[in-house]
Structure 1
């Protein structure tokens, strides 16, 4: 398997965690987003969306981090990243989507570049935008976690939801977002970071970290 990704991409981080939890080996292929390498012809020939991450598994190509994680879970079932029951799977997907759809898209690199570029928003105002959506979005996750507290997002073993949560907290801390108002979120984050699959795939541990 080959993973096209960027060390600071939270979506890429999600997939690195999933691969590590499953103990799967892969070739790490960096695509530097700040340098716009995702727009170059060599990567465009592989990725129709020109986004990361992208997983190449033999002749198969899978994009979008959550689709990749579910693909890995179906092709390499152990250890599972989705609960066995339908309601549990729905809850894990809900938690994942609360982050991947409600927080992350408002704060990814393309959006931030547009705010300070064509929209001519000052850096300080851009950071206020970032912190607002992260902090309020995490409040939703906090309420979800409070309904069924557990060691991880759902139960006593990591799921896709944890793969999505941890990178978002890394981003929150990088932009000095407030997190003291989400104690359940941070408790789960700390539990995850005790596992090698999370600690050894974090941005600073990546070969293209700079």
Structure 2
């Protein structure tokens, strides 16, 4: 199994968490998105989405973090990250999709670069953009966690896909200097998950391609 990943990519981070939770070994292949290695013809042939991560499993090539984690969950169901119970599954996916579909796409590297390089947005305006969408998303997330009665985890008493999505998003927001004091449930999940070996193993600072 091969994982093509970038240390600071939150989508790659999600998949690394899932792999670590499931104790799956893989070959690490760095793809530096800061210098557009994800757009190299050889890579795009493997991953038409021209993004990270990319999982290659016995010749089966799969991009998109949510599809990858679903694939891993079906093939290696312990621990199960997408619950089987109908309503619990729905809650996990609701939270995961809020982060992966509503929040992350607005604030990822290619969007921020486009704002600055193509639209001429100032650094101050770019920061305001980032903070706005983080605040809007986390306000919703905090209410969702209140509804699920979150504690150590987003939903119930065990780790799920929702936690795999939440931790990288909080890490990115913290790195960008966002004020997260208004989201105690979000931060409680983040802080607890980061005490777990799998989350520590998957953290950006512990990746072979880490750059300060």
TM-score bin (small chain) = over 0.9
Q: Is the 8 A contact 2:6 2:53 kept in 1?
A: yes
Please say if 1:14 is aligned against 2:19: no
1:164-179 matches, within 5 Å, as 164-179=165-180
Partner of 1:59: 59
Secondary structure of the structure 2 residue equivalent to 1:28: strand
Q: How many Å separate the matches in 1 of 2:136 and 2:181?
A: 12
Deviation digits for residues 31-55 of structure 1 (CA, Å, limit 9, x no counterpart) = 0000100111221221111111110
**Structure 2 spans left out of the alignment, 5+ residues:** none
Q: Is the 8 A contact 1:149 1:184 kept in 2?
A: no
Deviation digits for residues 153-208 of structure 1 (CA, Å, limit 9, x no counterpart) = 11111100000000000100011111111100000111100101111211111000
Question: How many residues are aligned here?
Answer: 210
Deviation digits for residues 73-110 of structure 1 (CA, Å, limit 9, x no counterpart) = 00001111122201111110000001001110000111
Partner of 2:40: 40
1:157-168 matches, within 5 Å, as 157-168=158-169
Partner of 2:117: 117
1:44-193 matches, within 5 Å, as 44-150=44-150, 151-193=152-194
Secondary structure of the structure 2 residue equivalent to 1:162: helix
Q: How many Å separate the matches in 1 of 2:60 and 2:42?
A: 18
Flag as ranges the 4+ runs of structure 1 deviating above 4 A: none
**Backbone CA RMSD of aligned residues:** 0.8
TM-score, normalised to structure 1, is 0.98
TM-superposed deviation, 1:62: 1.4
Q: How many Å separate the matches in 2 of 1:173 and 1:104?
A: 14
TM-score, normalised to structure 2, is 0.97
**Structure 1 spans left out of the alignment, 5+ residues:** none
Q: Is the 8 A contact 1:5 1:54 kept in 2?
A: yes
